[in-house]
Each structure stands twice: as structure tokens, then as C-alpha cells.
Amino acid sequence: MRPPEGMRILTPLPGIYAYYDGRLPGYAWGEGRNWVDDGALALGIASYALVAGSSAIVYDPHTTLEHARAVRAHLERLGVREFTLVLSHHHLDHVAGTEVFADGRIIANARTAAHLERDRAAIEEGTLGGAPAINPLILPTETFEGRMELSLGGERVELLHFDIHSDDATVLWLPEGQILLAGDTLEDTVTYVAEPQGFDAHLRDLGRLRALGPRQILPNHGHPDVIADGGYGVGLIGATERYIALIRSGEAPESLAQSMVLFDEDKACRYAACYEAVHRQNLQRVRNG
């Protein structure tokens, strides 16, 4: 199976694959307004797979069935036969391909499972966030509270629940290598503010994230060259904290480029013009409470 036109398969670290699509001028998945282009591909998005022998942990199935099928096809060519899918959170661009992995374990934290169960009918009808519909939406087969530990090729993989970006974020933590797969808890150029009422919790849990001591960070939304080169450093956490504090204060400039002078003191982020619209939306959400 040929992957979607814009998909690039990156290898940021041994045994870790990133399936990256988007952030390409003039590139679109569909016609008209749709959340795949507006909420995911315009910014660039990756899902990940950790591979050891014939087993893989897939971290998010990607944004469409076509993307998810391409992910699975690549892994099967590598000899993978046993799939465990872990959902980073309940937002549409992170659950759209669950059907492709329905024959294996699908794991999420209990809050993600509850959000998906609550919204399942609207998601399958295409009335939550608009088109395209995700039908069928396959719900998690296993849930956890707080922490869950998996093993892959003899290495520990910890699933940890955080309240950053959304109240149901699950990150993957590989303690032996100090590698963090961050989902949407961290994002380059700036975090997408979905729940401004949760800023206190977000800032608290960003501190928890830093306390893990990550050496390399792989976010779902980031610059493809940085991801391909092994990911981000811990400075991305500090930049996210300072950005939240800045927009919360009401003193952030309307321009993202100008705002970066104030929050990105460590030069941890890469300016991307596509995030100017995200920044303006963030400011509006904060003003509207």
C-alpha cells in the first residue's frame, strides 16, 4: 500500500518510527473545510510506533483510515504481527484510524475512554468537529488510571496520565533511554489551547513532565526535521510553560513572531507561520474564558 501523498516515514531513534504528514505548502487531504486539513495536516502531525521484533506499540493510529492503513502496512513489512495501540487523548486527529487496529489491544486512560464513549454517536455521525465522520469509532479495549506499564523487547514502556492540553492526555515514557513521546502535551511552535479553564492543572503537570527528566522529546505536532533528528530537548517544556503564562496574562502580542521573543528565551521552538492562526485562536479562547 502506498502511503498518503504527504506522509514521510521518519526514524528519530532506533526502533522508533514517526509517521509524519502535513506542514507542506499547498497540500491538502480533502476538498472544502475539514478537520483533517484544518486541525492536523496544516500544522503537521505524526503518530509513532515502537518496534521490537514482531511486536509494536503504536502511539495514535493517525488522522484517517488511509494513514492508519499505511502505518500498519509499513509495520507488517518490518515483520510486526502483534499490535498494541495506545491513544494519546480523545481529539479527532488522534483516534481516526482505530478501526485499522481493532484486532489488537487498544489502550487509553479511563478519562479518554469516557470522553469517547460520551461523544461516540456525534463522532460517527460527523457532527463533532465536522466532516469527516469516524465511523466506526473503535473504543478502547483496556483502560488504566494514572499509570500503566507495558514491556516491549524487554524494555519498560510507561503510560502516564497528565492534564496538559486536554484533561485526558497519555504520554509514553521510556525510562531507560529517558525518551518521552509527548502526544499533544507539548507542541512546536506553541501549544493549542483547547481547555483554558485548565491552565492551573496544565502548569502543574508540565512540572511533573519536567520531573521525569526527559532527554529526548517526540511530540505529535512538531517540525519534521527536528523529529527526524531525534526530537526536542527539555527546553520545549519551559517554552510551553512561559507561553501559557504569557497568554494567560493578557499581555501577549497578537503576532506569534513577536510573542516568541517573550516566551522562547531558550530558542526551543521553530517558528512556523501556520501557527499564527493557532496563536490568535488561543488568545481569543483565553479572552472568552
Query: For residue 278, is it within any domain?
Result: yes
Q: Are 78 and 112 in contact (CB under 8 A)?
A: no
Q: Greatest CA span in the chain, whole angstroms?
A: 53
3-state DSSP assignment of residue 86: strand
Answer yes or no: is 2 within a domain.
no
Any domain includes 3? no
Convert the pLDDT of each residue in 72-102 to its tens digit.
999 999 999 999 999 999 999 999 999 999 9
Question: Does residue 132 form part of some domain?
Answer: yes
Residue 249 lies in a domain: yes
CATH of the domain at 220: 3.60.15.10
Quote the number of domains for the chain.
Answer: 1
Within a domain: 124:
yes
Residue 165 lies in a domain: yes
Average of per-residue pLDDT across 263-286? 97
pLDDT value for 2: 62
Cα 132 vs. chain centroid, distance in angstroms? 19
Residue 39, pLDDT score: 87
Written as nine digits, the cell of 247 is 497568554
Range of the domain at 206: 8-287
- Rounded Cα distance, 44 and 86, in Å: 20
| pLDDT range class, residue 1, cuts 50, 70, 90 | low
Per-residue pLDDT tens digits for 178-232? 999 999 999 999 999 999 999 999 999 999 999 999 999 999 999 999 999 999 9
E strand spans, the chain: 8-13, 16-21, 45-52, 55-59, 82-86, 105-109, 142-144, 147-152, 155-164, 166-174, 179-183, 216-219
